[in-house]
Amino acid sequence: MRALLPYLALWRRHFWLLTLGVVLAIVTLLASIGLLTLSGWFLSASALVGFAGIYSFNFMLPAAGVRGSAITRTAGRYFERLVSHDATFRVLQHLRVSTFSKLLPLSPAGLARFRQGELLNRMVADVDTLDHLYLRVISPLVGALVVILVVTFGLSLLDVTLALTLGGIMLLTLLLLPPLFYRAGKPGGEALTRLRGQWRQQLTAWLQGQAELTIFGASTRYREAMDDTEQAWHDAQRQQSSLTALSQAAMQLISGAAVVIVLWMAAGSVGGDTSPGALIALFVFCALAAFEALAPVTGAFQHLGQVIASATRVSQITEQQPDVTFPANTQPVPPQVALSLQNVSFSYPHQPQQALSDITLTVEPGEHIAILGRTGCGKSTLLQLITRAWNPAAGTLQINGTPIESFDEAALRATMSVVTQRVHLFSATLRDNLLLARPEASDAQLSDALTRTGLEKLLDDAGLNAWLGEGGRQLSGGELRRLAIARALLHDAPLMLLDEPTEGLDAETEGQILDLLADVAQGKTVLLVTHRLKGLSRFNRIIVMDNGQIIEQGTHATLMANQGRYYQFHRRV
């Protein structure tokens, strides 16, 4: 239960909306009970007075009460669903934003041990499961408790003994059955949550690794493991369904027993009247309707195991402390950037080999530097240290002579523009994807950035309202790279970090991208990571890395004259 406390605290922002949903649910339940109770009494009383009492019996008032209860129940149910689901969606939105805001500072160190499919499952499915806490636990429980009190008080005006008997049976049912079925359903709920995450993780890995699994002949074996997990998942669902049926049967049995007891007692006397007549029907139908409020409670507590398991899984991520923290003070964004790395070393967690070893590098303002080397030599790791995705294990890193740890996150992000190898686009409009880099930019500025990067044809037809789709499917590789550069232009930071911006492009497109970068990055400090040799002669300096170390650096002409590793790379082309 303790795992739910942080999420209950988040719901305070929507307290009044959630409370209104509970109130409407109670009004609906009471209207439903009143409708069946009054209808049963009305029909019985009408039958007893017969044709002879047609002029002496008041038909109008009970009929109005029946109609009023029916209208109240219908309207209450509609507005209860409207308010409750709106409140739940708002809570889920808040939970998602809160969870994601806690995930961001953990990346990448705190999330490295989780696979992408596992993270996605916890972020989506587990957070979705938390809505059961309100819709299936809190609201039904509070509604049932209030109904018991109101029904007991109302019936006590007619007969205290009957009222306390019915109220006592309902209260004991509320106190005993939910904890019982919670205990019975907790293992199955936890298993459902675990198996659901495990199966989705396996499915994601199977889809992503289809080529490798097929090449190494492991596809059938991996699929069999997925089938075993799916079968275990189905078995857990079957067990939960059986438990749900058992809880409903137990509720029906208790409800039937309560009705028989009330019928037997009411037949003897009601309020001292040994000939209660239609009042017998009133108590019997009230007992039948009142147990409707208890019907969802046992099943609700059965789902509590899933809710707690999901809350625990989400908390396992969000309660971690970030490895990289930023100071609260604000720093001005410098107009130009000089970098200085002194004896910087770094190794990834649980990796014995260092990714970077004793790196010393000085970058002057406005200098364009290409970092060259084979895959895995530490080029991308160097950029990640500059962006403070990680902290170096040893050494210092400074921007304009100030330690990078002294910059608050907003100032550091404003100081640099990063163009990654993989360009991430959201399923949204062209405008939305560009505004990520500069939220306050006008349409004219967005169009200018596209024009400068050679993407003016994207402004045809729908213009900035063009829908890019998931991942920008209709865009070519070159257009994706240009769009990333357009974002960097809009961000307009004095330091540009480019990680393999021409990877996977043909020679002509690669040349166009390099020409574009040379044009738009004038006056900015640029670090470009690559393992390709085309266009490197235009850079002020070329750094060659191997095994996490800088083995040589200089201009293109100098390195070619030295006939070192850079020269050897050219000879192999």
Average predicted confidence (pLDDT) for the chain: 84
Task: Indicate the DSSP class of residue 123.
Answer: I
Phi, psi of 323 (to 5 degrees): -70, -30
Handedness of CA 547, 551, 552, 553 (dihedral sign): positive
Banded pLDDT at 397 (limits 50, 70, 90): very high
What is the amino acid identity at position 465?
A: N
Banded pLDDT at 522 (limits 50, 70, 90): confident
Q: What percent of the chain has pLDDT over 90?
A: 16
Tell me if 323 is assigned to some domain: no
Tell me if 94 is assigned to some domain: yes
Indicate if the pLDDT at residue 354 is higher than 80: yes
- For the segment 208-242, what is each residue's pLDDT rounded down to a tens digit? 888 888 888 888 888 888 999 999 989 988 988 88
CATH number at residue 299: 1.20.1560.10
Q: 310 and 348: one domain?
A: no
Q: Residue 566's CB: how many other CB atoms inside 10 A?
A: 23
Query: Between 495 and 302, whose confidence is greater?
Result: 495
- For the segment 415-427, what is each residue's pLDDT rounded down to a tens digit? 998 888 788 888 8
The boundaries of the domain holding residue 200 are: 2-318
Q: 355 and 283: one domain?
A: no
Q: Which of 293, 286, 287, 295 is nearest to 35 (CA)?
A: 286
- For the segment 130-162, what is each residue's pLDDT rounded down to a tens digit? 777 777 778 888 888 999 999 999 989 888 999
The span from the CA of 130 to the CA of 312, in Å, is 11
> How many domains is the chain partitioned into structurally?
2
Q: Which of 24-33, 315-324, 454-463 has the highest mean pLDDT?
A: 24-33
Q: 303 and 426: one domain?
A: no
Phi, psi of 112 (to 5 degrees): -65, -30
Indicate if the pLDDT at residue 52 is higher than 70: no
Q: 300 and 164: one domain?
A: yes
Handedness of CA 400, 404, 405, 407 (dihedral sign): positive
Q: 286 and 378: one domain?
A: no
Q: 309 and 347: one domain?
A: no
Q: Residue 427's CB: how many other CB atoms inside 10 A?
A: 13
Q: 309 and 360: one domain?
A: no
Q: Which residue has the tokens 């500025």?
A: 445
The span from the CA of 511 to the CA of 502, in Å, is 9
Indicate if the pLDDT at residue 512 is higher than 90: no
Q: 373 and 498: one domain?
A: yes
Indicate if the pLDDT at residue 178 is higher than 80: yes
Q: 409 and 307: one domain?
A: no
Query: Between 280 and 307, whose confidence is greater?
Result: 280
The span from the CA of 142 to the CA of 294, in Å, is 10
Tell me if 16 is assigned to some domain: yes
Q: Which residues of 445-465 are buried (b: 16+ CB within 10 A; e: fewer)?
A: ebbbbbebbbbeebbeeeebe
The span from the CA of 301 to the CA of 9, in Å, is 20
pLDDT of residue 71: 93
Tell me if 329 is assigned to some domain: no
Q: 405 and 303: one domain?
A: no
Tell me if 330 is assigned to some domain: no
Tell me if 326 is assigned to some domain: no
In this structure, the strands spanning 525-530 and 368-373 are parallel
The CA-atom distances, in angstroms, between 58 and each of 46, 62, 64, 66, 553 are 9, 8, 11, 13, 103
pLDDT of residue 257: 93
What proportions of the chain, in percent to the nearest 5, are helix, strand and coil? 65, 10, 25
pLDDT of residue 503: 74
Banded pLDDT at 31 (limits 50, 70, 90): very high
| Boundary residue ending a domain (285, 318, 351) | 318
- For the segment 233-283, what is each residue's pLDDT rounded down to a tens digit? 899 889 888 888 888 888 889 999 999 999 999 888 887 777 888 888 898
- For the segment 444-467, what is each residue's pLDDT rounded down to a tens digit? 988 888 888 888 888 877 788 888
Average pLDDT value for residue range 202-206: 84
Tell me if 484 is assigned to some domain: yes
Indicate if the pLDDT at residue 429 is higher than 90: no
Indicate if the pLDDT at residue 78 is higher than 90: yes
Q: 90 and 219: one domain?
A: yes
Q: 45 and 15: one domain?
A: yes
The span from the CA of 562 to the CA of 551, in Å, is 12
Alpha helices, DSSP H, located in 269-294: 278-290
pLDDT of residue 473: 62
Average pLDDT value for residue range 287-293: 88
Average pLDDT value for residue range 174-189: 83
Tell me if 505 is assigned to some domain: yes
Indicate if the pLDDT at residue 56 is higher than 90: no
Banded pLDDT at 410 (limits 50, 70, 90): confident
